[in-house]
Each structure stands twice: as C-alpha cells, then as structure tokens.
C-alpha cells in the first residue's frame, strides 16, 4: 500500500485573531530540524487543489502548512476558477490587507516550527501567493521562496533590494497578466543576487501548475516542480 501524507486543519493564533491552516506531513513523519514549507494560496482560497499541492510537497518529505489568507474576509473559502467564483476571488484579493497577511505568514512560520520541529522554512506561492512568497523573502520571514507567476511582483520591485535568501521564480511565456517586460523587470531587480533563478516556460499560461484549470500545462508543471524540489533541497 502506498503511504499518504498525514493531513489536518489546525489553528494559528495571532494578536489579530485566529485562523485555520492546512497542515500536511510526510508519510515518514517529521524529524526535528527537517525542512518546512508555508504554502501560499491563489486567490481561490485553500481549495482542493492547494491542499493537493500541500500533500504533494509532503509526499516529497516537507512539513507543509497552508494558511487561510482570506480568513478576515471569508474564513475557509474555497472557490472555483470561473464565473461567479472568479468574480468573488478577485473581490477578496482586492480586500486583502497585505501587511496583515504578511503578519499572518510570520505567525504561520512560527506555528509550523512549533508544531513539527521544522528547521528552515520556505514560502512557496502561486499567483497572489507568489507575490506573498516574494514579499515574505524580502521581509526576512522565510529562508527561501518559490513564487509561481506572482501577480504584482513587477509593481514591488523595490523590495528586491531587501532579499537576502534564495528565490526561484516561475513564469508562463503566454501569461498576459505578467507580460515579458514585467518578467524582465524582475530579472533586472534580482540581477547580482547569485541565489536567484528565473524560469519562463514556453507554451505555458497563467496558472499552468493548477491541474484543475484550463490553463494547466503538464510539461511545464512537471519541470517547474522538479526544479523547485532541487532548489529547495539546496536552500533548506
């Protein structure tokens, strides 16, 4: 029988309130000092896909905690990718207080370490979560970051000067939300940082890692995940 990750929802307590986070642990358990990942959602909440990604990284041996970034607006919301769900997701994104979300991420890192004994922790994020992963690196909240098609990073390039940890970026060449000039801006901002990598995937659009979306691009998703694992094994 194939071993599966051990997963459950847990609570994260902060001075601003408490929120849920999805915890997924490796089938072999977690040894003290093992690497951890804070997994940061798209604008669709900690939905079935994000939980599956958490389980995927747990199966790779990481202790993973995915915080509910939208807990102030719509606790435990889980949305699809079209129609009314897309409209609601966009509205929730606009309502997020990003500094407060970064405080939540700092608390999530602390709880992950307390709950599992994890050592170094990376932020891995998708879409809006990619922006949060990048900002988490810039604020020194994590030991590494892997932003996938992070929307809005190109508007926060001044934060790159503060990054002192390894960062690996993934973009789709067909992503109209993050055009080539935006990716080039990230390249320029990260130039001279030897621990940064930027990959652009031909034939891939925004959301290419999400197998629940029409934009899923399996070759790019597989290659990016493999690259992320190699990167994380060296960074954590």
Just list the catalytic residues.
127, 175, 206
Helix, strand, coil percent content, the chain, rounded in steps of 5: 40, 20, 40
Q: How many Å apart are CA 135 and CA 128, to the nearest integer?
A: 11
Is residue 1 in a domain? no
Q: How many Å apart are CA 120 and CA 197, to the nearest integer?
A: 19
Task: Give the per-residue pLDDT at 222.
Answer: 98
Is residue 209 in a domain? yes
Indicate the number of domains in the chain.
1
Q: What is 115-175 written as a DSSP string? A: HH---SEEEEEETHHHHHHHHHHHTT-SSEEEEES-TTGGG-GGGGGG--S-EEEEEETT-
Short-list 95, 133, 116, CA closest to 228: 133
Is residue 198 in a domain? yes
Task: Give the per-residue pLDDT at 28.
Answer: 82
Is residue 107 in a domain? yes
Is residue 231 in a domain? yes
User: pTM (2 decimals)?
Assistant: 0.97
Encoding tokens for residue 216?
A: 């899923």
Residue 112 domain boundaries = 6-235
CATH of the domain at 115: 3.40.50.1820
DSSP state of 81: S
Is residue 68 in a domain? yes
Is residue 161 in a domain? yes
pLDDT block averages, 10 residues each, the chain of length 236: 78 96 91 91 98 97 97 98 97 98 98 93 98 98 98 96 98 98 98 95 98 97 98 97
Q: At a CB cut-off of 8 Å and minimum separation 6, what does 26 contact?
A: 5, 6, 34, 58, 59, 60, 61, 62, 63
Q: How many Å apart are CA 134 and CA 140, to the nearest integer?
A: 10
Task: Give the per-residue pLDDT at 2.
Answer: 54
Is residue 172 in a domain? yes
């Amino acid at each position: 029988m194939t071993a599966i990750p051990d997963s459950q929802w847990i609570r994260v307590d902060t001075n601003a309130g408490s929120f849920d986070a999805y915890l997924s642990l490796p089938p072999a358990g977690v040894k003290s000092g093992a690497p951890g990942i804070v997994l940061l959602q798209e604008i669709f909440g900690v939905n079935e896909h994000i939980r599956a990604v958490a389980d995927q990284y747990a199966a790779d041996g990481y202790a993973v905690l995915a915080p509910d970034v939208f807990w102030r607006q719509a606790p435990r919301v889980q949305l699809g990718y079209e129609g009314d769900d897309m409209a609601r997701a966009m509205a929730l994104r606009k309502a997020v207080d990003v500094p407060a979300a970064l405080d939540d991420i700092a608390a999530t890192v602390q709880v992950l370490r307390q709950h599992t004994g994890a050592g170094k922790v990376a932020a891995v994020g998708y879409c809006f979560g990619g922006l949060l992963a990048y900002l988490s690196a810039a604020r020194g909240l994590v030991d590494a970051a892997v932003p996938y098609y992070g929307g809005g990073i190109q508007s926060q390039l001044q934060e790159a000067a503060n990054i002192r940890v390894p960062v690996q970026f993934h973009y789709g060449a067909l992503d109209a939300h993050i055009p080539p000039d935006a990716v080039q801006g990230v390249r320029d901002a990260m130039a001279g940082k030897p621990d940064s990598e930027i990959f652009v995937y031909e034939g891939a659009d925004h959301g290419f890692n999400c197998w629940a979306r029409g934009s899923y691009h399996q070759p790019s998703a597989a290659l990016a995940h493999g690259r992320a694992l190699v990167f994380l094994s060296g960074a954590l």
